[in-house]
Chain A
């Protein structure tokens, strides 16, 4: 990955360019008003993605029902047993152009074919972007269309270690046909989008004393008649200092933004910290009701993270191609997937310990988290048995169980449909209509 690249456009975006004072609170009346307890319970959706398939026999519980067991990979989620719903036997049945990694990723939330196109993968025919919207954006649009569920951003898309390229392997959210949505891969970008240029203001303020010293020193060496401009300049510095100190509109937030460590670089070795930062901001943006929908994308389909923090030097996707009999690779992949489960556990714990502002219960009671993957299994590249681990009570599903979705034609489109139905958006089909046979899954 090219984290050290110069990309002036992104540097610009980072700066927010025009002004330091972002109009953060322009649509924020619902932020600080205590919501009526009679209002409908809030519903939130988070989709967490990790790539390259799972290790099925260390992932799927053998038992169905409420006493399912937690195998190695799902062990970190044991504390949330009662709030989990494991969906078995769901398949990504979208066919057509694109290799399995591409369709696995880009059809995961869209449930529709990719346009024929020019991106050639490891097999099949080349393809372009998907032909339709993704379910997270569909739900976002639905919520934004109604005043009572409308929020500042509607949806937020966080990335962790997502490369700076745009292709069907790297995008899972789509605003419509041919409209990929770029995740915020750098927490500093996300921070700026959510809270304004707080970090930059701090950085500027940290040098202002030096600057005043300089202005004073230069002015003193100049003839009296030439000092006027510098005196004016010094006044401007004082003014900026004051503005940046108290011009902080964030004081109106329900919850102050998380502390952002200084200088954390967006690079492979920092993925664990970067991910935690993104999760913290995701939670904070929910508390402040900036959005009701979020995605959290770890790397990408075919992602090549090198998880040094797990003592794994190999690149993730390369490892995932190893045959099952390669015990070393197998064991590493189990560790990798377990690590993702730990990150999910961190997210769930945070949601659980955060009260839902203005409403009863925790934020987890109002949220549905879906952890998924573009493949059922890495070395077979299968799109069958896609991992779907759901957690949280936000969508009214019956939780605390492992559920066999049925034996026939279980296209994952049915799950996507259920999500829409659960937020009061009873679509008849979503994605490819032929893959919606049987309608939404009965999960409640």
Chain B
């Protein structure tokens, strides 16, 4: 809670208050003003504070509009009121009065945010962009098959041929797995024993990007090449078969959903050209162009998926999570286009989707049946015969080509509110039924639609008892879409989502390359995926980060020895202590992404650790003050500079916390490299930190901060709340059956792994208000 950031000091109000007080003072005399004994906090509050903060702390429009709630201990509140309140005249409330007012605030509402929840029920919302894309892809996936990597082997399978004449596959020479595609054969053959003049190579497999977004793919070669990605039979996305032997690089851009595999095929032809080489690279949504690392490539070929290529306007994220609470014409037109794109795809692909062909006597009935199923999946419930007549049968007639009917039905389905507002049934139905639960499970676990399995379970009446639903929750947790969604949340939680790579001064840190920055990012995300999903770690283990993924470039930069026995990805798991790390907040990516180009940034680091590692509430400053290095004596340390910059009382209300949680990390430089001195002087790491209980802690480095975080329930509670909002796109208070205090305790006490927490929140949120059958 931060008074300073909201209290406005506008002249109009200042004058008004001044005259009012002057008037009061004249009438009653100074002695009558709040000198009652014992001091009446409520009365004093009404007198000095209510005008701006409301009688019950609810806030006042145009003054201080937010409720007075927060997590400061009362001692800090008193100190703050004493020094800064009321903001038009901080000298007006002092000493015992400040004490009485603060205690009243603290006791009456400051710790009770629930008092101010205007509407604790679930709000109708449209699908967010992520939900929309996932749902549309999975709708088609119900018919085309969900691509799954069963036995992942990293790399692409390469088939090497000798070529002759028009026959590019005259004779297979060898088959092997290539972990990356980056070869320079010069004038030699690709493999020994092949004809160096004429050969061809066909690489195939899958690619699984980690994050959703726009990917640009590049192929560079003087020879002939074709790249197909996520296509079954169509022309390649890059077609450069024809060449005169000059080096070319071609690219193509695609939107891909993270965490899903897509088929990839690269055909390569050398035919009498003087030189031979080939590179396959990409530019990920966040990152620099690079040869596609083997950790994204798999030898198994999966079926293609439909992924909408439509650009969608960003969702509202003002509350720290994406919500579909606004509809406007940009959104309407973008989703209309996305629906059109999907409908055209469905029309083209209908025979395959309906498992029929042009010669099939039952083609039409099969296609009608496909559209019915499609509609049912899109609407997430059973559809009555009457509705089917309207939505489906009326669209077919002998004078309309079949694919046009299919297009219309798919377009109708994807534009319908029954698809776009997934929670509408929950709000409309007095008694929540199995469809409501299934809809929510799919939304909360996957951001998607209930799959065929869930529909089948409901049809067989096996989705009403608690064990049934819990069983499905377990299945859904193991699906890679859950992992992708948790990843998406953690990117946000770690301040990484849509954030550019840390970019440090080349002059000061010449070896901190963009490639290293990408390695660091990957190192963190790889560890998260492995530890949460494979090792099933708990919250304390997550915060403590005892292990780290390291590759050769990282090892060399951070000056540690790199064991040679890495797998093809180049990463090995090492003890984090080898790199002198003490917890998640000391991962070099976190540190370098919270730095200035030339210096560490105690403020950015402090905000991150205060909010995420310690679970504290911070509001953005009312007035942004930017840090300019040139304003300070160059011989000062960052600690000295930041201390000077934030010394004003208004700043200190939050910065006492932020600075302390940032200064403890000063023994890591902007690159996240451990250091023992700054400009030849020892580093002052010691800070005092006032916890939310009002107890002053002394930290002497990041380990102390971590130990404190592990003892407190607060960080866990904050994590649970945040995670739930991301899963359900609704605040947890709207669900009666979820006790976040209890869950946070369990999390802290290692009674739940993070994976289980995800599952539990998804399950509890989805089944909230549902009466399980006995």
Task: Decide whether A and B are members of one complex.
Answer: yes
Q: Check B404–A263 contact: CB distance below 8 A.
A: yes
Report the interface size class on chain B: 35 or more
Tell me whether A17 and B417 are in contact in the complex, defined as CB-CB below 8 angstroms, given that A118-B270, A165-B235 are known contacts: no
Q: Residue B465 at the A interface, CB < 8 A? A: no
The interface-forming segment of B87-95, B333-341, B496-504, B593-601 is B333-341
Q: Which residues of B contact A215 (CB under 8 A)?
A: 417
Least CB distance, A219 to chain B, in whole angstroms: 8
Max count, chain A CB within 10 A of own CB: residue among B306, B337, B401 = B337
Q: Check A164–B245 contact: CB distance below 8 A.
A: no
Q: Residue A168 at the B interface, CB < 8 A? A: yes
CA distance A6 to B254 in the complex (A): 14
Query: Interface readout for B188-225 with A: 1 if CB under 8 Å, 0 if not?
Result: 00000000000000000000000000000000000110
Q: Residue A26 at the B interface, CB < 8 A? A: no
CA distance A14 to B273 in the complex (A): 36
Tell me whether A263 and B403 are in contact in the complex, defined as CB-CB below 8 angstroms, given that A6-B231, A204-B336 are known contacts: yes
Tell me whether A119 and B333 are in contact in the complex, defined as CB-CB below 8 angstroms, given that A4-B349, A214-B417, A233-B417 are known contacts: no
Max count, chain A CB within 10 A of own CB: residue among B125, B230, B428 = B428
Q: Which residues of A contact B325 (CB under 8 A)?
A: 229
Report the interface size class on chain A: 35 or more
Q: Which residues of A contact B412 (CB under 8 A)?
A: 207, 210-211
Least CB distance, A441 to chain B, in whole angstroms: 31
**8 Å CB contact of A12 from B309, B348, B400:** B309
CA distance A229 to B427 in the complex (A): 13
Q: Residue B431 at the A interface, CB < 8 A? A: no
CA distance A125 to B272 in the complex (A): 10
- Which chain A residue lies CB-closest to B349? A6
Q: Find residues 1-53 in chain A having any chain B CB closer than 8 Å to their own CB.
A: 2, 4-12, 14-15, 17-20
**8 Å CB contact of B124 from A115, A120, A229:** A229
The interface-forming segment of B236-244, B582-590, B754-762 is B236-244
Q: Which residues of A contact B163 (CB under 8 A)?
A: 120
Q: Check A218–B242 contact: CB distance below 8 A.
A: no
- Which chain B residue lies CB-closest to A170? B242
Q: Residue A71 at the B interface, CB < 8 A? A: no
Q: Residue B556 at the A interface, CB < 8 A? A: no
Q: Residue B625 at the A interface, CB < 8 A? A: no
Tell me whether A6 and B234 are in contact in the complex, defined as CB-CB below 8 angstroms, given that A14-B344, A207-B415 are known contacts: yes
Q: Check B345–A6 contact: CB distance below 8 A.
A: yes
Q: Which residues of A contact B351 (CB under 8 A)?
A: 4
The interface-forming segment of A220-228, A286-294, A366-374, A404-412 is A220-228
Query: Interface readout for A248-272 with B: 1 if CB under 8 Å, 0 if not?
Result: 0000000000000011010000000
Least CB distance, A298 to chain B, in whole angstroms: 19
Q: Which residues of A contact B231 (CB under 8 A)?
A: 5-8
Tell me whether A17 and B344 are in contact in the complex, defined as CB-CB below 8 angstroms, given that A126-B272, A236-B327, A236-B332 are known contacts: no
Q: Check A15–B428 contact: CB distance below 8 A.
A: no
Q: Check A121–B166 contact: CB distance below 8 A.
A: yes
Q: Check A20–B407 contact: CB distance below 8 A.
A: no
Q: Which residues of A contact B347 (CB under 8 A)?
A: 263
- Which chain B residue lies CB-closest to A262? B404
Q: Residue A275 at the B interface, CB < 8 A? A: no
Q: Which residues of A contact B345 (CB under 8 A)?
A: 6, 8, 11
Tell me whether A167 and B124 are in contact in the complex, defined as CB-CB below 8 angstroms, given that A8-B230, A15-B344, A116-B272 are known contacts: no
Q: Residue A426 at the B interface, CB < 8 A? A: no
CA distance A121 to B165 in the complex (A): 7
Q: Check A240–B424 contact: CB distance below 8 A.
A: no
Q: Which residues of A contact B237 (CB under 8 A)?
A: 9
Q: Check A118–B126 contact: CB distance below 8 A.
A: no
Q: Check A218–B232 contact: CB distance below 8 A.
A: no
Query: Interface readout for B606-649 with A: 1 if CB under 8 Å, 0 if not?
Result: 00000000000000000000000000000000000000000000
Q: Which residues of B contact A62 (CB under 8 A)?
A: none
CA distance A229 to B412 in the complex (A): 19
Tell me whether A116 and B245 are in contact in the complex, defined as CB-CB below 8 angstroms, given that A7-B231, A17-B337, A203-B407 are known contacts: yes
Q: Check B329–A239 contact: CB distance below 8 A.
A: yes
Q: Find residues 166-202 in chain A having any chain B CB closer than 8 Å to their own CB.
A: 166-168, 178, 180, 200
Q: Check A120–B165 contact: CB distance below 8 A.
A: yes
Tell me whether A214 and B416 are in contact in the complex, defined as CB-CB below 8 angstroms, given that A15-B344, A121-B166 are known contacts: yes
Q: Find residues 409-440 in chain B having any chain A CB closer than 8 Å to their own CB.
A: 411-412, 415-418, 421, 424, 427-428
Q: Check B242–A129 contact: CB distance below 8 A.
A: yes
Least CB distance, A226 to chain B, in whole angstroms: 4
CA distance A226 to B237 in the complex (A): 45
**8 Å CB contact of A117 from B123, B230, B243, B310:** B243
Q: Check A211–B416 contact: CB distance below 8 A.
A: yes
Q: Which residues of A contact B390 (CB under 8 A)?
A: 210
Least CB distance, B109 to chain A, in whole angstroms: 25
Q: Find residues 317-335 in chain A having any chain B CB closer than 8 Å to their own CB.
A: none
CA distance A180 to B242 in the complex (A): 10
Least CB distance, A228 to chain B, in whole angstroms: 8
Q: Residue B48 at the A interface, CB < 8 A? A: no
Q: Which residues of A contact B224 (CB under 8 A)?
A: 117-119
Query: Interface readout for A88-122 with B: 1 if CB under 8 Å, 0 if not?
Result: 00000000000000000000000000011111111
Q: Check B242–A168 contact: CB distance below 8 A.
A: yes
Least CB distance, A158 to chain B, in whole angstroms: 18
**8 Å CB contact of A165 from B239, B328, B415:** B239
Q: Which residues of B contact A214 (CB under 8 A)?
A: 416-418
**8 Å CB contact of B418 from A6, A204, A218, A262:** A218
Q: Check A207–B124 contact: CB distance below 8 A.
A: no
- Which chain A residue lies CB-closest to B425? A221
Q: Residue A128 at the B interface, CB < 8 A? A: yes
Q: Which residues of B contact A20 (CB under 8 A)?
A: 333, 337
Q: Residue B604 at the A interface, CB < 8 A? A: no
Least CB distance, A252 to chain B, in whole angstroms: 23
Q: Residue A312 at the B interface, CB < 8 A? A: no
**8 Å CB contact of B232 from A5, A164, A167:** A5
CA distance A178 to B242 in the complex (A): 9
Q: Which residues of B contact A5 (CB under 8 A)?
A: 231-235, 348
Q: Which residues of B contact A115 (CB under 8 A)?
A: 244
Q: Residue A206 at the B interface, CB < 8 A? A: yes
Least CB distance, A183 to chain B, in whole angstroms: 14
**8 Å CB contact of A11 from B243, B311, B332, B344:** B344
Q: Check B244–A128 contact: CB distance below 8 A.
A: yes
- Which chain A residue lies CB-closest to B338? A15
Q: Residue A311 at the B interface, CB < 8 A? A: no
Q: Residue A232 at the B interface, CB < 8 A? A: yes
Tell me whether A6 and B348 are in contact in the complex, defined as CB-CB below 8 angstroms, given that A207-B408, A230-B417 are known contacts: yes
**8 Å CB contact of A118 from B243, B311, B403, B428:** B243
Q: Check A118–B272 contact: CB distance below 8 A.
A: yes
Least CB distance, A178 to chain B, in whole angstroms: 7
- Which chain B residue lies CB-closest to A97? B244
Q: Which residues of A contact B242 (CB under 8 A)?
A: 117-119, 128-129, 166-168, 180
Q: Check B348–A4 contact: CB distance below 8 A.
A: yes
Least CB distance, B420 to chain A, in whole angstroms: 8
Q: Check B234–A10 contact: CB distance below 8 A.
A: yes
Q: Find residues 107-145 in chain B having any chain A CB closer than 8 Å to their own CB.
A: 123-126
Q: Check A218–B243 contact: CB distance below 8 A.
A: no
Question: Can you give 30 contacting A-B residue pairs, CB < 8 Å?
Answer: A5-B231, A6-B231, A6-B304, A6-B345, A6-B348, A6-B349, A8-B254, A8-B309, A11-B344, A19-B333, A117-B242, A117-B244, A118-B224, A119-B271, A120-B165, A128-B245, A164-B235, A166-B239, A167-B242, A204-B336, A219-B417, A222-B124, A226-B427, A229-B126, A229-B325, A240-B333, A262-B404, A263-B401, A263-B403, A263-B404
Residues of chain B touching chain A, judged by Cβ–Cβ distance below 8 Å, are 123-126, 163, 165-166, 168, 223-224, 230-235, 237, 239, 241-246, 252, 254, 269-273, 304, 306-307, 309-311, 325, 327-329, 332-333, 336-337, 340-341, 343-345, 347-349, 351, 390-391, 400-401, 403-404, 407-408, 411-412, 415-418, 421, 424, 427-428
A-B residue pairs, 10 tightest by C-beta: A7-B234, A5-B234, A115-B244, A118-B271, A263-B401, A128-B244, A164-B235, A221-B428, A5-B233, A263-B404
